[in-house]
Structure 1
Amino acid sequence: MTPASPPTPFSAAQIQEAVQELLAAESLPPIVQAGHPVLRQRAAAFDAQITAVELEQLIQLMRRVMHEAPGVGLAAPQLGVPLQLAVLEDQFDVDPEAAALRRRTPLDFLAILNPRYSPLGMDNAAFFEGCLSLNGLQAVVVRHEQVLLTFETPAGASEEREFSGWQARIVQHETDHLHGILYVDRAELRSLSSNAEYAARWAEPGIGKARAALDFLPELP
């Protein structure tokens, strides 16, 4: 069980100030790295701490940072803003065999506020996963294969959507960020690999080779 993270100490005014500083900068902001307290705090639920215009500008900035990284998701705390906002998008061209095994299909751009997910069914999937806030590392994470996501849109509507496969993994990863949870909290730590070792040894559609050599998940979920 992952312990609950403490809430952010930021006030609404401090959140707005942080957002305004990002929007005023002349260059793309760096992605906050593990060890920064903002990644270990529960972000504030969005409740009009910033204006609609600032929210839209922040979303577009986050999308640009995500693309530049590149990645398939980015949470506001990764830019130092403790607000429950994340952006998701997966348009990468991946190996067909890997895409089929991982059930990875394109995910159109989506901005989510105050998200919560719950599993649908009992199926899990285990694959290597990385994070823009833990540069240079990957590890195997067991995730729900299908989830129901409840969230608010930037326009203020409440929505529910089902996600499965790799899309469900992205949803869980980014929602976790907003609650102070990093993927290493859920990872099989014996699988932890540098990007170079992953590329040299374990870059295959599944995790069977790595599982046998690194001795983790003796019984797959």
Structure 2
Amino acid sequence: MAILPIRIMGDPVLHSPAGEIDEITDEIRQLVADMFETMDAAPGVGLAAPQVGVPLRVYVYSYSDDDGVPWRGVVINPVLWMRPLVPGAPDPDDESEGCLSFPGERFPLRRSDEVLVTGTDLEGAPVRIEADGWRARIMQHEFDHLDGILYIDRLSDADWKTTQKIARKRGWGGPGQAWTPGVDDLDA
């Protein structure tokens, strides 16, 4: 296994829809193992293949609620259904999220509180995940990556402008920019 560089906003692979996986090969299994290692090292609660420069429809996730029970897995070629959003502004204390492809920042974002995700696992078996709360947020966030959408693309105008200022200050926004967990210091 290996810790992979994580692409930073502006890299074209992050802003384009990812392709379907037609066959689960040893290369796909290795990619998923590397994605888990990278996500854990970052640390993060989810990681999509485009974030490590691979334009394929697969993501991994790992999260533990207050009960401490781990929730960890992989979804290949996911399909997402979600309950309509509750109208209103997001609560900055309870609805803020961050992203490994825009590291070091968090912004409030309203997400659906309930989702259903279907797809397959590494063995080709069907996956069906019904999630709510933070787990639903994770599923939506990672699914967005597969469609070329970063969470900062969904922010309010004021917060989006702030992200653009941060990106300019840090020199982000172009192809090939990445950071590697455990190697790069991102204290900007």
TM-score range, shorter chain: 0.7 to 0.9
Indicate the SS of the match to 2:138: helix
* C-alpha distance in structure 2 between counterparts of 1:138 and 1:189, whole Å: 15
Look up the match of 1:120. Answer: 83
Which amino acid in the other structure matches residue 30 of structure 1? P
Cα RMSD (Å): 2.4
Q: Residues 142, 121 of structure 1: CA spacing in aligned structure 2 closer, same or farther, 3 A cutoff?
A: closer
1:149-181 alpha-carbon deviations (Å, 9 max, x no partner): 111111112232210000000000001100101
Give the alignment's TM-score, normalised by structure 2.
0.74
Structure showing greater relative contact order (alpha-carbon pairs closer than 8 Å, 6 or more residues apart): 2
Q: Residues 122, 181 of structure 1: CA spacing in aligned structure 2 closer, same or farther, 3 A cutoff?
A: closer
Contact persistence 2:85–2:110 (CA under 8 A): no
Q: CA shift at 1:189, angstroms?
A: 4.1
Question: Is residue 2:16 matched to residue 1:59?
Answer: no
Which amino acid in the other structure matches residue 106 of structure 2? Q
How is 1:106-185 mapped onto 2 (pairs within 5 angstroms)? 106-120=69-83, 123=86, 126=91, 127-185=95-153
* C-alpha distance in structure 2 between counterparts of 1:160 and 1:108, whole Å: 14
Name the stretch that deviates more: 67-76 or 125-134.
Answer: 125-134
1:98-134 alpha-carbon deviations (Å, 9 max, x no partner): x6xxxx9755211001112111365476511110000
Which amino acid in the other structure matches residue 60 of structure 1? A
| Structure with more of its chain in helix, by fraction | 1
Question: Is residue 2:7 matched to residue 1:32?
Answer: yes
Q: CA shift at 1:182, angstroms?
A: 0.4
* C-alpha distance in structure 1 between counterparts of 2:157 and 2:68, whole Å: 27
Which amino acid in the other structure matches residue 42 of structure 1? P
Contact persistence 1:139–1:188 (CA under 8 A): no
Q: CA shift at 1:35, angstroms?
A: 0.6
Q: CA shift at 1:28, angstroms?
A: 2.3
Look up the match of 2:56. Answer: 83
Q: CA shift at 1:191, angstroms?
A: 4.2
1:184-208 alpha-carbon deviations (Å, 9 max, x no partner): 11122434678xxxxxxxxxxxxxx
Q: Residues 156, 130 of structure 1: CA spacing in aligned structure 2 closer, same or farther, 3 A cutoff?
A: same
Contact persistence 2:3–2:35 (CA under 8 A): no
